Amino acid sequence: MWFSKSQDQVLTELKVNKASGLSSSDAKGRLEQYGMNKLKGKPKKSIASLFFSQLKDMLIYVLLAAAVITLVIGEIADAVIILLVIILNAVIGVFQEYKAEKAVEALQKMTTPRSLVRRDNEVKEIDSSEVVPGDIIILDAGRYVPADLRLIESANLQIEESALTGESVPSSKDASDLFADPKTPIGDKSNMAFMSTLVTYGRGEGVVVATAMETEIGKIAKILDADNDEMTPLQKRLDELGRILGFLAIGICAVIFIIALIQRRDLFEMFLTAISLAVAAIPEGLAAIVAIVLALGVTRMSKINAIVKKLPAVETLGSVNIICSDKTGTLTQNRMTVVKDYTSQNFKDISGTETNLTATGDETELIKSLVLCSDATFENGQGTGDPTEIALIVLGDKYNLTRTRLNSDHKRVSENPFDSDRKLMSTLNVEGKGYRVHTKGAIDNLLHISNSALVNGKIVPLTQELKQDYLKKTEEMSDAALRVLGVAFKDTDSIIKPEEMEIDLTIIGLVGMIDPPRLEVKASIEEAKSAGITPIMITGDHKNTAVAIAKELGIATSIEQSITGAEIDELPDEIFSKNINNYRVFARVSPEHKVKIVRAFKSHGNIVSMTGDGVNDAPSLKFADIGVAMGITGTDVAKGASDMILTDDNFTTIVHAIEEGRNIYNNIKKSVIFLLSCNLGEVITIFLSILLSWPVPLVATQILWINLITDSLPAIALGIDPGDRDVMKQKPRNPKESFFARGAGLRAVIGGTLIGIFTLLAFFYGLWEHGYTLGSIANAASDPAYEEALTYARTMAFVVLAASQLFYSLSMRSSTKSIFKVGLFSNKFLIGAIIIGILLQLVVISIPFLANAFQVQNLTLMDWAIVFLFAFIPFCVNEIIKVFMKLKYKD
């Protein structure tokens, strides 16, 4: 509340003398009391803690259980394989997240290293980390503010606060201002200066009222430090799936023991069989496959200028249905630009990008005066000085009225600097044999000190009619959210004093400027809206300016769709959350408001993306489902808090990234449903055989081979499927939608059942070939030939199970389109995975030591044909089912 107290109150409360400052002993005592003026962060996570945090997942627990199970069986090699899968999954996660938490470190780097303070009645330069509450800080142009200050003196002071407030134009400061409203937005606190903002003009003095974590930027650091461990939609689904599979495995074991007791079978034998079934129920490669698919997705995203820092963010982006974007620098160019000028009866739109234009008549004088009455520079695409003045220099360059040439021809001999009370700036320049005053500033103030106007090259009296004309055009520009600047001149024979310059001027005209939208953004927003995504503008700028930009871009249609930070504070949280969907523009907001807005949208079940580049965006970037930072203009703070960085700062890239994210999620879903279909087939095969007191068709090592090797390659290939071209014509996926929605669960059950049935058929066909029927199996245990027949039958079941899963993967590429419509060879990786999978089956069966290890043997040529025929049937049935699925779930 320092902004509501007078200078004397503040100095008294902080026990400091304005003229002499703190004494060295006072400063030392306060440094011990308040600590160093540095931002603090959470202790950094070690590589080990990052690694172990990757293991805190239900699916990983299930995999660890599978490893223990295989150790109990005595299959050490299989246990090692599963553990390697777990380690691979964790390493991928650590690699992606190692550099993710750098936001507070970046904030620390932003703080200025040296500051001018008044201590012991003299001005000293000290490390900014040694600044304490009560210190008197001296500010001048080009110097960073070392802490939060209550200004006690200001002279034409302007501070660039865009990283903190989102405003493009430096804020004018006035130490004498007072604000009674406790909810005054940061951008309106003209009697305050904030840590890490930059003085661009004038000078001032302030008393330190907050240091380190108590500053506004420190509050942002605290928000960034707060744990936000909410899981992404994909993590939630995989966690839910892991729990289901874990309980399923336990349930299977329990059912098997109950059956064993009822059938009075050998309990140890049943224990081993139960382990086989549990292994069959668990897709051991799922966690690693999902991690690999996401990692491959990250690589694909980088090729479209989107760098993803956290793997789950790839999928999250695809389910986004709200994009909250900062205005300044994200939707706009963060560069003030003159778009309209007006001289009497001549209103001109100059918003184009053309150069080498020719000014005519009064317009030439207008531009000439504006350029001469500016201190900024603009060379080789880089500007220095006030953004408003840079815009005027660029305007001159467009009309070949360059600052260098004009200042050479019309040397400046005197000036009256800008003053926030006058809201004017004047220069006195050589003009022919005499001199000319050039004055720019607020049009209202100019009209009060002018008595004539330039009309078609002639100076005429400034009538009431002309005044109204200028004011009307000013109002029109202001309504269009333009910042309006007037300009006037007067000729004089001699050099005059600054206080004599702004008297009896001649009005030339005015210009309107704005921070213009990025050229490509409008089309991107239209595309996003057509994909069912709602764009939202969040900014620290003024309401009218924000709404004007939002209307131009197609984000909003009326001012009723906007709300300010102060208005948000007036609403109870419940009412604000309830009405959040009515708003498209949020203006004059603080970092805390941004987080509140994101949370309100999320409370309705939305998946929220927040884009931005400033320090003020960092907390909301962190709390959004996915934070997107700008790579070029973005601060390190924003990049550190984000999940994804756009290397080209192009809003269009977000739309492309959403498309890629949707396809990646669909691909992960294909992989998961494929793996579960395969595992269900294995469970059905074993469970039915036990339930009916038949021999077990598969041994645990065969199941593990298929789960970890045969299934994994097609699953990864499905994960990098080219994707659906029509994916952006669909609405965003419901965040609560299950993996098994839109018929996917039914397809998994049908596919798994078919695979299981034909695996059993192959097993009994193999026994039947050797003269054993269902009736004779019970009495064949003592028959020496039976063991060989059992091995042969298991080999046929093993091949059918593996091959049917490989062929079935082709059918998984689309839920409604046939493989021929999708393109049989459009995913060459999948074709390669199927070929490799079949070759691996041949290798296992043909090489003796592998055949012994997996308890298989070679088949006759006829039986190879039969197993492949059996294996092909689930694929064919699924393709037929697609015809009916297409009618129910249209793309």
Q: Can you say how many angstroms the Cα of residue 545 is from the centroid of all Cα atoms in its chain?
A: 25
Tokens coding 263: 């059938």
Residue 494, both tokens? 């001699």
Q: Is the distance from CB of 756 to CB of 683 less than 8 angstroms?
A: yes
Largest distance between two CA atoms of the chain: 127
Q: What are 578's two structure tokens? A: 């309830």
Instruction: Please check whether residue 39 is in contact with residue 221, taking contact to mean a CB–CB distance below 8 angstroms.
Output: yes
Closest CA to 453 of 427, 464, 399: 464
How many other C-beta atoms are found inside a 10 Å radius of the C-beta of residue 847? 11
Query: How many CA within 13 A on the CB side of residue 60?
Result: 19
**How far, in Å, CA of 467 to CA of 489, rounded?**
16
Structure tokens belonging to residue 170: 């430096």
Residue 97 burial (10 A CB sphere; 0-12, 13-18, 19+) = middle
Give the integer Cα–Cα distance in Å for 876 and 881. 9
Tell how strand 192-193 and strand 337-343 pair up.
Answer: unpaired
Measure Cα distances from 818 to 807, 823, 824, 884 in Å.
Answer: 14, 8, 9, 12
120 is catalytic: no
- For 369-436, give the DSSP string: HHHHT---EEETTEEES-HHHHHHHHHHHHTT--HHHHHHHS-EEEEEEEETTTTEEEEEEEETTEEE
In terms of residues, how long is the chain? 891
How many C-beta neighbours within 10 Å does residue 369 have?
A: 26
Query: What Å distances lie between residue 91 and 53, 94, 243, 589, CA to CA?
Result: 11, 5, 23, 40
User: What are the distances in angstroms from CA 177 to CA 152, 160, 186, 253, 360?
Assistant: 10, 18, 14, 76, 43
Q: Which residues contact 516 (CB under 8 A, 6 or more apart)?
A: 332, 333, 335, 337, 339, 351
The answer to whether 587 and 541 have CB atoms below 8 angstroms apart is yes
CA distance 140 to 741: 62
Tokens at 517, concatenated? 């939208």
Q: Of 146, 150, 205, nearest to 177 (Cα)?
A: 150
* Token duo for residue 648: 């080209």
Q: Is 608 helix (H, G, I), strand (E, B) or coil?
A: strand
The strand pairing partners of 586, in sequence order, are 538, 563
Q: Which of 57, 78, 135, 326 is catalytic?
A: 326
**Could you tell me what percentage of the chain is helix, strand and coil, using 3-state DSSP and rounding each to the nearest 5?**
55, 15, 30
Question: What six digits make up the tokens of 280?
Answer: 């069959």
126 pairs with which residues across the strands? Answer: 115
3-state secondary structure of 549: helix
Judged on CB neighbours under 10 Å (0-12, 13-18, 19+), 525 is: buried
Using alpha carbons, select from 256, 294, 254 the residue that is nearest to residue 273. 256
Handedness of CA 809, 814, 818, 823 (dihedral sign): negative
Which residue carries 């507070």 as its tokens? 104
Count of Cβ atoms closer than 10 Å to residue 857 Cβ: 15
**What gap in Å lies between CA 644 and CA 831, rounded to an integer?**
32
- Joined together, the tokens standing for residue 687 give 């469970």
Which are the catalytic amino acids? 326
